[in-house]
Amino acid sequence: MNDNITAHSSAEYDNKIVTTIPFYHIFHKTTIELIQNADIIVDKWLDTGCGTGNLIVNASQVFSDTEFILSDPSSEMIAIAKEKINIGNRKVTFLNSNSQDLKYDDNSFDVITAIQSHHYLDKETRMQATKNCFRMLKPNGLFITFENIMPLSNKGVTIGLNRWKNYQIKNGKTFDEAKQHIERFGKDYFPISIIEHIDLLKKSGFNSIEILWTSFMQAGFYAIK
């Protein structure tokens, strides 16, 4: 049995994710670059669905005065993040929790990130998670999310999954491994379209909503409270 909800065990996650998600390294780089150009002071940053902590490992090198809170529903992922992150004497908090159950006060954070995490939730729970992130953000706070997405047509789904499968094979997976991962689509995680993502963010209360990045069957969005 896997020790988290992703397709990979926590111990192998860092090695496997780059052979699974096209351009995965760009997600973190783009997130950090966006925040650098958003004209906000980042005192507190919540990374929910933090996985093994790679985003904050990179972000802490740029945002040297920021307090980071890392949360993930997998205790094994949190344990690896704790081993990996060493940010001197600055306060870093680790929580074993999902997004929808976090209990921080309203207006607590300048930035909240959710990278490849909310697509494991059904639509109702995803709405709860996104609304909770909105609640915890300060006014003018920034929410950034990357997710697997649903194409707009059945043909788009077929072509997208075929491209994704062949990407994985070209990057070292066997045919059976790639096929097994593709078969998780709509069963083990629940992608929604770009249009539905924008609607979700609007219904959650965000004012400014933008598409940040898209390729293959993944997309990034940012929204301002």
R_g (Cα) of the chain, nearest Å: 17
79-111 in b/e form (b: 16+ CB < 10 A) is bbbeeebebeeeebebbeebbbebebeeebbbb
Overall number of domains in the chain: 1
| Separation CA 196–CA 193 (nearest Å) | 5
pTM of the model: 0.91
| Separation CA 189–CA 5 (nearest Å) | 9
Using 50, 70 and 90 to split pLDDT, how confident is the model at 9? very low
Residue 137: inside a domain, yes or no? yes
Task: Check residue 12 and give its pLDDT.
Answer: 67
Residue 117: inside a domain, yes or no? yes
Q: Residue range 53-66: average pLDDT?
A: 92
Please give the single-letter amino acid code of residue 34. L
Task: Check residue 83 and give its pLDDT.
Answer: 87
Q: Residue range 147-156: average pLDDT?
A: 96
Reading phi first (left if > 0) and then psi (alpha if -120 to 50, else beta), residue 13 is in alpha
Q: Which domain holds residue 220?
A: 10-224
| Separation CA 135–CA 1 (nearest Å) | 34
Using 50, 70 and 90 to split pLDDT, how confident is the model at 13? low
| pLDDT tens, residue by residue, 188-199 | 999 999 999 999
Q: Using H for helix, E for strand and C for coil, what is the string for 99-141?
A: HHHCCCCCCCEEEEEEECCHHHCCHHHHHHHHHHHHHHEEEEE
Task: Check residue 119 and give its pLDDT.
Answer: 94
Is residue 55 within 8 A of residue 28, CB to CB? The reply is yes
Q: Residue range 37-42: average pLDDT?
A: 95
| Separation CA 42–CA 134 (nearest Å) | 16
Residue 158: inside a domain, yes or no? yes
Residue 127: inside a domain, yes or no? yes
Residue 4: inside a domain, yes or no? no
With a cut of 50, say whether residue 183 has pLDDT above it. yes
Residue 1: inside a domain, yes or no? no
Is residue 55 within 8 A of residue 31, CB to CB? The reply is yes
Using 50, 70 and 90 to split pLDDT, how confident is the model at 140? very high
Mean pLDDT of the chain: 91
Q: Residue range 30-35: average pLDDT?
A: 97
Q: Who's near 103: CB < 8 A, 6+ residues apart?
A: none
Q: Residue range 18-24: average pLDDT?
A: 90
Q: Residue range 203-220: average pLDDT?
A: 96
Residue 189: inside a domain, yes or no? yes
Task: Check residue 15 and give its pLDDT.
Answer: 75
| pLDDT tens, residue by residue, 71-117 | 999 999 999 998 888 665 568 999 999 999 999 999 999 999 999 99
Residue 2: inside a domain, yes or no? no
CATH number of the domain where residue 179 is located: 3.40.50.150
